[in-house]
Structure 1
Amino acid sequence: MRGTKEVKKALEELYKMEFINKYMKCGEVHVSLNINKKKEIEEFLEQ
């Protein structure tokens, strides 16, 4: 898959910013938006 490294890097940055949560499910890593950071995520997207 093209861009896999870039996607992983972007997801890791979002995780460090606490914009997403990571969890294991069925042996795979799943992500979801951190609802506690909703305002910060919206501001980030508006930039």
Structure 2
Amino acid sequence: MPDMAKHSGVYRQNTKRYYMIYMCVCVCVCVCVFTQIFGTTKYK
């Protein structure tokens, strides 16, 4: 039982880290697309 609890804790930590990385990537992509669209419209 303790081993399972430890494993679930590690799994939860990894999931949180993966979620954070996923959010960072999404934000970066959104910012890139946002700047591209607004940059082209601004220059045109």
TM-score by length of 2: 0.37
Q: Which has the higher strand share?
A: 1
Q: Which has the higher helix share?
A: 2
For CA contacts below 8 A with separation 6 or more, give which structure has more relative contact order.
1
TM-score by length of 1: 0.35
The structure with more radius of gyration? 2
